[in-house]
Amino acid sequence: MLHGERLLSDIRDIARGFAAQRRERQLRRELDPTDIATLKAAGLHLAAIPEAYGGYWQNARVSQRVQCQAIRLLAQGDPSLALVSSMHPGMMALWREPEAPSTGAAEWEAQRRAVFGSVVEGAWWGTITSEPGSGGDIARTKARAEPADGGYLITGEKHFGSGSGAMTHMVTTAVRQGADSPDWFFMDMRNAAWDGSNGLTLKTPWDAHGMAATNSHAFTFENYPATRLAWPGTWREVFEATGGVGSLSHTATFLGIIDAAMRHMREEFARRGQTPDTLRAFEKSEWTAAHREAALIYQCHEAAVSALERNGRARHEAALAKANIALLAESVMTRLCRISGGGAYGRSSPLGFWFEDVRAAGFLRPPWAIAAEGLYSMSWAGEPGALPL
């Protein structure tokens, strides 16, 4: 069996097990690190690592679909865990996707080897880039990086560090003295205490309406050791060179939630003995609209993945997919909650949890306002998929 097929078959089994524990998992307020260990045992962390460095990734043309399907399956069992897991491939893309730079190629290659090697040895990477007050705009990073011992020390406020406590490494941004824009850095979190004793203080534990078990905590960093990304250009260049693959992994989480929610609704109809004729007019219309929007969600994502497979990059399509799916997923969940009835308001129904979970889609990088500005700029290049006359 090919790597990808085996991975998906294992992840499907794991996700089914998680789905069977849905009630208990939806009530969780914290990430269980043993879940990450389970995913590691299945090799999910290796799916983002190039084959030449010991992983399963062949290229964006063939491997992104497998990556997205794995996250999507996982989200059917546990959306918080799927969202946390979608950060790692996004971060690996920073080292995997850019072409070798014309200067500093040897340092870049040495760092790639070290980063990919860490994953082969069992590391799992996340990101804590966001800063309070930045609105998710990396250009507004305020954290500082001071040189020290051949590396850097990072000081500043960071929040939304999904996977905290289970991630071995975290990618972040900070501004070096005299620089007018931030750079990417990464930090080893393996021995990090959260009490301020080694430069890291837990400021606000994650306490959210949705994606409740992601440990997306806020921290204060004070002279915390970090390594600068060896990319010689700007933070934006390397980010844009990823071609949208990271964003597609995040988006796959929300497809999985819609898969599970639509299936749940069908099962609920069956449990109630409802048939196509017994729904009231309003319910029929809401259900048809949810069905239509779910299909659009799938098509938006498929369009972006196919564009990536054809062209090797899909920034515009991935941005469109993310923004459209964020809107549509909220709409689908609203409709399903209405059809299900007042019971959906209770915590014994999974729908209210998913309703809150999908709201995260629009806040993930780039969050709503920045996503809209990016799409506005890209819109001047035309509509992907339009047929030239």
Ligand X SMILES: Cc1cc2nc3c(=O)[nH]c(=O)nc-3n(C[C@H](O)[C@H](O)[C@H](O)COP(=O)(O)OP(=O)(O)OC[C@H]3O[C@@H](n4cnc5c(N)ncnc54)[C@H](O)[C@@H]3O)c2cc1C
**Binding stretches for ligand X (CB under 6 A):** 87, 126-130, 132-136, 160-162, 211, 214, 216, 360, 363-365, 367, 369
Count CB neighbours of 41 within 10 A. 11
Closer by beta carbon to ligand X, 12 or else 142: 142
Closer by beta carbon to ligand X, 23 or else 140: 140
CA pair distance 284, 106, nearest whole angstrom: 62
Q: Which of 361, 343, 360 is nearest to 352 (CA)?
A: 343
- What separation in angstroms does the CA of 368 have from each of 68, 322, 361? 22, 10, 9
- CB of 84 vs ligand X, minimal distance in Å: 8
CA pair distance 290, 169, nearest whole angstrom: 39
Closer by beta carbon to ligand X, 67 or else 134: 134
- CB of 127 vs ligand X, minimal distance in Å: 4
- CB of 5 vs ligand X, minimal distance in Å: 29
Closer by beta carbon to ligand X, 211 or else 304: 211
CA pair distance 244, 133, nearest whole angstrom: 25
- CB of 140 vs ligand X, minimal distance in Å: 8
202 φ/ψ angles, rounded to the nearest 5 degrees:
-70, 115
Angle at 329 between CA 211 and CA 264, to 5 degrees: 80
Closer by beta carbon to ligand X, 69 or else 216: 216
Closer by beta carbon to ligand X, 137 or else 309: 137
- CB of 45 vs ligand X, minimal distance in Å: 16
Buried b / exposed e across 216-239, counting CB within 10 Å, b at 16+?
bbbbbbeebbbbbbbbeeebeebb
CA pair distance 39, 17, nearest whole angstrom: 12
Closer by beta carbon to ligand X, 8 or else 238: 238
- CB of 276 vs ligand X, minimal distance in Å: 37
- CB of 365 vs ligand X, minimal distance in Å: 4
Closer by beta carbon to ligand X, 160 or else 269: 160
- CB of 124 vs ligand X, minimal distance in Å: 13
Closer by beta carbon to ligand X, 283 or else 356: 356
339: Cβ–Cβ under 8 A, 6 or more apart, which residues? Answer: 265, 279, 283, 286, 287, 290
- CB of 54 vs ligand X, minimal distance in Å: 25
CA pair distance 242, 248, nearest whole angstrom: 11
